[in-house]
Amino acid sequence: MGYNLSSRSMKNLEGVDANLVEVVQLAIQLSKQDFMVLEGVRSREQCMVNYGNGRTVAQCTAKGIPAKYAQPKLNKVTWLNNPFSSKHCYGKAVDLVPYPIDWNTLSKFDEIAKAMFQAAKQLGVPIRWGADWNSNGRPREKGETDSPHFEI
């Protein structure tokens, strides 16, 4: 039973914290919903690109991000105050999406989360889910919009 990680998912886990990788590897076996690893480690470069989206030169330089990354006309992709505070920048986070890719069926993300929390418990690795930041068991309260995101 269970699914297996694709080679693309394995590649996207490169450089991710070993404990988190273990959780993902167990979760794919427990999960009723197949999933893929969309992103793991985010390079420093990519963190700067993301921060620049939807921000002006002044907003970027105020945070030490070179002006060339400022793309005020693009949609914002991160609301972080610190461009490098995402746990992706340190290999402590992964984004998991249902496979075949489906962004709209939230119940599929819930199945993935169920498997992730089950795996995390079995391995004794505490994790947080982007759809339940305060870990109160009530997903998608105000500001809890990052269903693919898991971090340690």
Stretch that binds Zn ion, among 55-63, 74-82, 103-111, 144-152 (CB under 5 A): 144-152
Q: Which is nearer to Zn ion, 55 or 149 (CB)?
A: 149
Element (DSSP H or E) covering residue 93: strand 93-98
Q: What is the DSSP string of 101-146?
A: --SS-HHHHHHHHHHHHHHHHHHT---EETTBTT-SS-TT-TT---
With CB under 5 A as the contact rule, the residue among 16, 17, 20, 95 that binds Zn ion is 95
Residue carrying structure tokens 């992730």: 116
Decide if residue 132 touches Zn ion (CB under 5 A).
no
Q: Is residue 92 involved in binding Zn ion (CB under 5 A)?
A: no
From residue 103 to residue 122, what is the string marking binding to Zn ion with x (rule CB under 5 A)? --------------------
By beta carbon distance, the residue nearest Zn ion is: 149
Positions touching Zn ion (CB under 5 A) are: 93, 95, 149
